[in-house]
Copies of this chain bind each other. A is one copy, B any other.
Amino acid sequence: MEIFVCLDVNQAQVRFLRQIAGNDVIHIAGDCSKVVRPPPEFISCQIALGNPPFPWLKSADKLRWIQLESTGFNEYAPLADLANEPNPILTNLAGFFAEPVAETCLAGILALYRGMHKVVSLKETRTWRGDRLRSCIRTLAGARVVLFGYGAINRRLHELLQPFGCEVAVFRRDWKPVSLDRELGRADIVVCACPETPDTRRAFDRRRLGELMSGALFVNVGRGSLVDEEALADALVQGTIGGALLDVTEREPLPKCSRLWDCNNVILSQHSGGGSVDEIDRKLQVFANNLQRYRQGKALVGQVDFRKGY
């Protein structure tokens, strides 16, 4: 059996991969996101770890299983239409990013509420504003929070919010537009943490963003496509909402011309939300567990359901 790894790994991680591969052949290719044509080692492999460029899959008829290194898998949706028989199994990292992303959500919310973004900017010019900062900052205790999506990330965020005594309204898959609009009109904070599906795409259009109160924070750690980015930039520039933490945007890297770069009270966390120093080690651990299950013929953890979209 041959295993192909398209992940940037260090020497210790290479040793770990070789160890779990045992007698199987393992090819460690590093980051392949910019590589147009599949290398021969990919064409001959049965298992891939990482996110190989989708066009590669057309020539990989031996491929039986892809362990993605992401939660999102939209680019692999056309997999079912490929001629490959049998279709390779696709597993993702559902739940894997709950802790880091929920922590980034709370970090961004508290940063905006407690003025951390302001003092970071002031520090660059050695400017002391002191007491004059105090009346512009807020406390999170008792805030009204709307959680849009209730997967692993928002469930974890909900736990982290418990000691603040927030009033939390949860919108799951079966969300009703009328109820959402009603809650948005009284929300201090809205956190979007869900995949893109036909139901969630542009859920936050211009009309719905208009429901938000003038001081409200908009947080998006789901997908850039959940929100009308032009309407969001308008709301931020005009101050009809209070601020935003955006981990995701429609285009990444965010184009230099985007107005979001200029908006005060916006934190752009540059899709780092899922990151942590031990991220790769933890990913390799997930793969190791699934590889063992694969060899034993057991069902793999995190198998993607294309019909549901998550």
Binding site for B on A (CB under 8 A): 99-100, 103-104, 106-108, 110-111, 113-117, 119-124, 126, 128-131, 133-141, 159-160, 162-164, 252-254, 256, 261, 266-277, 279-280
The residue in chain B whose Cβ has the minimal distance to the Cβ of A133 is: B272
A115 touches B277 (CB 8 A): no
Partner pick for A252 among B126, B130, B140, B275, CB 8 A cutoff: B130
A-B contact pairs, 20 of them (CB 8 A): A104-B114, A106-B106, A110-B111, A111-B111, A111-B120, A115-B275, A116-B116, A116-B120, A117-B120, A119-B268, A120-B121, A121-B124, A124-B124, A126-B261, A128-B270, A130-B270, A131-B271, A133-B269, A136-B275, A137-B276
User: How far apart are the CA atoms of A275 and B131 in the complex, in Å?
Assistant: 8
A133 touches B275 (CB 8 A): yes
Partner pick for A107 among B113, B128, B136, B273, CB 8 A cutoff: B113
B117 touches A107 (CB 8 A): no
The residue in chain B whose Cβ has the minimal distance to the Cβ of A254 is: B128
The residues of B that contact A120 with a CB separation of less than 8 Å are 111, 116-117, 120-121, 267
User: How far apart are the CA atoms of A108 and B120 in the complex, in Å?
Assistant: 11
User: How far apart are the CA atoms of A124 and B106 in the complex, in Å?
Assistant: 22
* Apart from A119-B269, A136-B277: 4 A-B pairs, beta carbons within 8 A: A106-B110, A107-B111, A128-B270, A163-B163
The smallest beta-carbon distance between A156 and chain B, in angstroms, is 9
Partner pick for A134 among B135, B139, B276, CB 8 A cutoff: B276
The residues of B that contact A160 with a CB separation of less than 8 Å are 163-164
The smallest beta-carbon distance between A162 and chain B, in angstroms, is 6
